[in-house]
């Protein structure tokens, strides 16, 4: 679950996480803060480790008291064209949480054939996180396909 005020900008190739694939956005991300009064602030690596990439950042001094969400989580599934046996759309589910309870949920949809979002999120932060999550998801799908092809 990423902090809802985190705006990821690029993958972090180095970092202190033991299992980066278990992170909410699928890997480590560098980015900026969008919390009111801190827009554009570049958090230190420790803050990225402890707060931005993980959500529920009560210890973060930039987290506003009045907020709709504490964290955001994502999941995805591919919707295949059964006749062609290829991916056409990817559905990304998001859940925004407040106090460890759902406070907003929905589906976003990406058309892999046209490389465009069919149903994006209206909040630019959530949309950007979904884009980052989707990029890692698609990369993992390609790696699985390559591994399966090599094993055949």
Both tokens of 36, joined, read 């009111």
CB atoms within 10 A of CB 36: 11
Judged by average pLDDT, the poorest of 9-13, 58-62, 82-86, 126-130 is: 82-86
Beta strands in 42-144 (DSSP E): 71-81, 86-98, 101-111, 116-119
Mean pLDDT of the chain: 88
Model pLDDT, residue 8: 95
**Which pair of tokens denotes residue 78?**
């591919």
Encoded tokens for 138: 């698609």
The pLDDT of residue 119 is 97
Residue 134 lies in a domain: yes
Residue 111, CA atoms < 13 Å, CB-side half-sphere: 6
Whether 1 is covered by a domain: the verdict is no
Residue 117 lies in a domain: yes
Whether 49 shows a pLDDT value over 80: the answer reads: yes
Residue numbers of the domain that contains 30: 6-151
Instruction: Reply yes or no on whether the pLDDT at 17 is more than 80.
Output: no
- Tell me the two tokens of residue 50: 């402890």
Token pair recorded at residue 102: 């759902």
pLDDT surpassing 90 at residue 146:
no
- Asked if residue 82 belongs to a domain, the reply is yes
Domain count, the chain: 1
Do the domain assignments include residue 49? Answer: yes
Q: Which pLDDT does position 56 carry in this prediction?
A: 78
Q: Determine the straight-line distance between the first and last CA of the chain, rounded to whole angstroms.
A: 36
Instruction: Please name which of 95, 98, 103, 102 lies closest in space to residue 75, comparing C-alpha atoms.
Output: 95
pLDDT tens per residue, range 85-119:
666 899 999 999 998 899 999 999 999 889 999 99
What are the pLDDT digits (tens) for 133-142? 999 999 988 8
pLDDT score at 22:
77
């Amino acid at each position: 679950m990423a902090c809802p005020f985190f705006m990821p900008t690029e993958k972090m190739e180095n970092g202190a996480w033991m299992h980066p694939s278990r992170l909410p956005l699928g890997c480590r991300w560098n980015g900026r803060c969008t919390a009111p009064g801190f827009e554009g602030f570049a958090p230190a690596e420790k803050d990225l480790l402890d707060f931005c990439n993980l959500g529920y950042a009560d210890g973060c001094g930039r987290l506003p008291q009045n907020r709709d969400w504490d964290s955001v989580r994502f999941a995805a599934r591919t919707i295949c064209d059964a006749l062609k046996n290829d991916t056409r759309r990817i559905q990304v589910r998001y859940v925004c949480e407040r106090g460890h309870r759902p406070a907003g949920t929905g589906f976003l949809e990406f058309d892999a054939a046209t490389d465009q979002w069919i149903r994006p999120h209206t909040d630019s932060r959530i949309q950007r996180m979904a884009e980052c999550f989707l990029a890692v998801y698609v990369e993992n799908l390609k790696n699985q396909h390559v591994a399966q092809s090599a094993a055949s």
